[in-house]
Structure 1
Amino acid sequence: MKSGGCWRCKVEMESGLPVSRNEGHGVLKDGSWFAQFRNGSNPWMARYVYAVMFLASNLLAWAVRDYGRKAFPEMEKLKNCQGGHGCLGAEGVLRVSLGCFAFFFVMFLSTARTERMYNCRDSWHSGWWSAKIALWIALTVIAFLVPTIIVQIYGEIAHFGAGVFLLVQLVSVISFITWLNDYCQSDKLSEKCRIHVMSLATAAYVICVVGIIMMYIWYAPEPSCLLNIFFITWTLVLIQLMMSVSLHPKVNAGILTPGVMGLYVVFICWCAIRSEPAGENCIRKAEESNRTDWLTIISFVIALLAMVIATFSTGIDSQCFQFRKKEAPAEDAVPYGYGFFHFVFATGAMYFAMLLIGWNTHHTIKKWTIDVGWTSTWVRIVNEWLAVCVYLWMLLAPMIRSRFRQTSEVA
């Protein structure tokens, strides 16, 4: 699995630094951004358009869930809506998600294995916006016309698809952390970055400790809060385990990566506990969370935007999932994997549905909330544990392969 190459290319393109094979692609045609949008000449700009379409689907799903009966009264007249119960609430979210998934899955099938620019599939990915927007709207409308049984089947499949999205996002995050560590330890920057690495690692560990303490204060105020105490304490143990393995003489991966990974797992633990249903005695101010205030609305908006940004960022990390070393890319190679990009957005459509319904198709979600429920809590916790396992495997795998190779040579 490549970790440095994918993020090096991504950072250079995002920062505007020249990359030989993509240098001309960002300026394929002279003219304004609108002209490039109309002509389909800029695949880097195209991904922003897809992100806006994805965000629009998220907002529509939220509107159907929270304000469907007032904003979309016509849905109650549809044959498959059963008086509104089949097109509003949790099932309404699944129908919007189904339409979004269908659109990006069609894009995935039509752009997969695109390797060269200036051909029909490259043009289809970066242009033809009138046709694609019409297709996106049509598939969203069709999703509200299909029988309920199809939506229920999709809801079960969406659990798996959302898990795939979390796994892809996890690998992307760990790849970035590995790339950051390799970049700072390179021959050219190892001396210059030594103080910066120490400062960043120290700050990361301090934030982790402060975060752990604050979670004990906020979410484990009493000894009877055994589950939250277990979550928080086990997170602290995992941070110590990652640091110990990373600093082991045979691994020697430094202190930066376990520190940044520590921030990641503390954040996931915090999200998991925050996903516990309101009214639990072990969550302070839980009674106040039963009403909608400006803080609840801001938290919802931030969570929604964070999910869209995560999907948007992960979508161009296809090189992180190449397990075999390939030759240098051609001059006319595509700047990122189009098929993988649309695959991530397709699974992201399933993921946002799970967040809005709390991973439970029969769970009633309060307005302006996202990812709330015990199922959401355990999904987050398992994701945290899986993140640590993947990180530890990436540290130990080279040593295990080396020892296996030595054993084979002796035999």
Structure 2
Amino acid sequence: MPFELEEDQKRVWSYFGYFFKFSILSWILRDFGAPLLKHIPALQHCDDVPEGSSSDMCYGKEAVFRISLALVLFFSVCFAVSFKAEQGSPRDYFDKHFFFFKYLGLLALVFVSFNFPKVSIEGYSEAARVFGVLFLAFQSIQMLEIFYKWNEWWVSKSEQHEGWVPLLVSLTGGIYGASMAGVGLAYHYFSGCDFNVIMTTVTLGIGVVITLLSVSKYRSEGSGLLSAAFCFGYCVYLLWSAASSMPETCVQDVYPKNNSDWTTVLSLIFMVLVVSFCCLNSAKDRDAFTMSGGDQASYSPSFAHFVFLLSSAYMAMLLTGWETGHHQGRGTFDLGWTSVWIKIAVQWVTAALYIWTLFAPFILSDRSF
């Protein structure tokens, strides 16, 4: 069941549209919806927040988690309907059609979610943390799959045509150069905190280790310097992303915490787009999550719904800074030490998974990778 089928494209883009629209709605209600949200009975506990706290922040947090919960419930139902559904079966037909009525159903779930008691949302907010971490784990696996595919494509081209060899060398050197520049700039701009210096040094160490291992004679045949360069570059990106989430003044020159309204809007839309397309790519291609490259279908409806489910929880974490009690305030997202440590953990997990893929074919010689 290749993804090129028109109906498969239509349905995955339709579900992507649901996710994107309601993610934007979450942000709008978080930052601007307090006057409206104050009239909802289930949210009026926010009027009793402790002195020194903001009731508007409480209302915003409630809106984010309730819309996220509605999306999670919606994609859970879609997952249940499409799980192991044969192509052409009634369940598969339902998954491909009736999008207008599904949209109405999602709106109904949003309405219902704003009537759930406080204790239900508190329980979901804790579960959303777990789902968010799972989404990041999925993304790490998918990024490694992309690195290996790009490495394989460039190497195959260079083997077929000698003219591609300089391009391959230039690309590899360019990625390493940009990554080293990123490390150097991190030392320059973020050295105001000892923690940043340590994390930058760890990132540099990761780059050195994966590079040396990628040229080892015991490595996997599909790996090479280009895949190592991609992995190193991604780890440097995660370092800078972690720095962007720091609430400390030692990153103020690069990441000012008080953005103007228009830069905030652009940043939020860009963030939602990035997460949405990451989610879309994971939904479209499940090959990265299989242990072998057999005759597996490249698109699985139930797997796509599962990824959208995790993404819905992850978006709530970004908008609340992974805090279940409150968000950081209007104009901020993905800010706080919890966000920092999660990104650092993702960097370490990605590096560990890459190292594992280098030697897994030799350790598990009876498996196909």
TM-score by length of 2: 0.89
Alpha-carbon distance in structure 2 between the residues aligned to 1:401 and 1:49: 40
- Which residue identity does 2:24 align to in structure 1? L
Structure 2 residue 79 is matched with structure 1 residue 108: yes
Deviation per CA, 1:2-40: give whole Å up to 9, x if none: xxxxxxxxxxxxxxxxxxx649833xxxxxxxxxxxxxx
Deviation per CA, 1:219-264: give whole Å up to 9, x if none: 21x4xx2100011111011011110100112226321001011111
Which is worse superposed, 76-85 or 261-270?
76-85
Structure 2 residue 216 is matched with structure 1 residue 236: no
Which of the numbers 140, 144, 147 marks the counterpart of 2:114? 144
- 1:15 corresponds to: none
- Which residue identity does 1:123 align to in structure 2? Y
Q: CA RMSD in A?
A: 2.4
- In the TM superposition, residue 205 of structure 1 has moved relative to its aligned partner by 0.3
Alpha-carbon distance in structure 1 between the residues aligned to 2:4 and 2:205: 49
Structure 2 residue 8 is matched with structure 1 residue 43: yes
- Which residue identity does 1:384 align to in structure 2? Q
- In the TM superposition, residue 292 of structure 1 has moved relative to its aligned partner by 2.5
Alpha-carbon distance in structure 2 between the residues aligned to 1:297 and 1:119: 43
Structure 2 residue 36 is matched with structure 1 residue 65: no
Tell me, yes or no, if the aligned pair for 1:219 and 1:284 is still in contact at 8 Å. no
Alpha-carbon distance in structure 1 between the residues aligned to 2:183 and 2:344: 15
Tell me, yes or no, if the aligned pair for 1:76 and 1:83 is still in contact at 8 Å. no
Deviation per CA, 1:111-137: give whole Å up to 9, x if none: 012342x33222212211122111111
Which of the numbers 370, 373, 386 marks the counterpart of 2:349? 386
Tell me, yes or no, if the aligned pair for 2:285 and 2:298 is still in contact at 8 Å. no
The change in CA–CA distance for 1:215 and 1:83 in structure 2 (over 3 A counts) is closer
- In the TM superposition, residue 286 of structure 1 has moved relative to its aligned partner by 7.3
- In the TM superposition, residue 65 of structure 1 has moved relative to its aligned partner by 1.1
- In the TM superposition, residue 301 of structure 1 has moved relative to its aligned partner by 2.1
Deviation per CA, 1:355-389: give whole Å up to 9, x if none: 10000112432222221001000000000000000
Which of the numbers 340, 345, 351 marks the counterpart of 2:314? 351
Structure number with higher helix proportion: 2
- 1:268 corresponds to: 238
- 1:30 corresponds to: none
Deviation per CA, 1:27-75: give whole Å up to 9, x if none: xxxxxxxxxxxxxxx22122111111101111111122111113x24x4
- 1:12 corresponds to: none
Structure 2 residue 147 is matched with structure 1 residue 177: yes
- 2:17 corresponds to: 52
The change in CA–CA distance for 1:107 and 1:87 in structure 2 (over 3 A counts) is farther
Alpha-carbon distance in structure 2 between the residues aligned to 1:208 and 1:236: 9
Alpha-carbon distance in structure 1 between the residues aligned to 2:4 and 2:251: 54
Alpha-carbon distance in structure 1 between the residues aligned to 2:127 and 2:313: 8
Structure 2 residue 339 is matched with structure 1 residue 376: yes
- 2:252 corresponds to: 284
Structure 2 residue 101 is matched with structure 1 residue 131: yes
Alpha-carbon distance in structure 2 between the residues aligned to 1:216 and 1:187: 37
- In the TM superposition, residue 401 of structure 1 has moved relative to its aligned partner by 3.1
Alpha-carbon distance in structure 2 between the residues aligned to 1:23 and 1:69: 42
Alpha-carbon distance in structure 2 between the residues aligned to 1:324 and 1:217: 43
Alpha-carbon distance in structure 2 between the residues aligned to 1:296 and 1:283: 18
The change in CA–CA distance for 1:67 and 1:294 in structure 2 (over 3 A counts) is closer
- 1:216 corresponds to: 187
- In the TM superposition, residue 110 of structure 1 has moved relative to its aligned partner by 0.5
- 2:229 corresponds to: 259
TM-score by length of 1: 0.80
The change in CA–CA distance for 1:140 and 1:189 in structure 2 (over 3 A counts) is farther
The change in CA–CA distance for 1:182 and 1:268 in structure 2 (over 3 A counts) is same
Aligned length: 356
Which is worse superposed, 245-254 or 302-311?
245-254
The change in CA–CA distance for 1:109 and 1:243 in structure 2 (over 3 A counts) is same
Tell me, yes or no, if the aligned pair for 2:319 and 2:327 is still in contact at 8 Å. no
- In the TM superposition, residue 83 of structure 1 has moved relative to its aligned partner by 5.2
Alpha-carbon distance in structure 1 between the residues aligned to 2:203 and 2:157: 34
Alpha-carbon distance in structure 2 between the residues aligned to 1:137 and 1:149: 22
The change in CA–CA distance for 1:372 and 1:285 in structure 2 (over 3 A counts) is same
The change in CA–CA distance for 1:154 and 1:196 in structure 2 (over 3 A counts) is same
Deviation per CA, 1:160-203: give whole Å up to 9, x if none: 11111111111111011112222233388554432222111111
| Unaligned 5+ runs, structure 1 | 1-20, 27-41, 406-411
Tell me, yes or no, if the aligned pair for 1:91 and 1:361 is still in contact at 8 Å. no
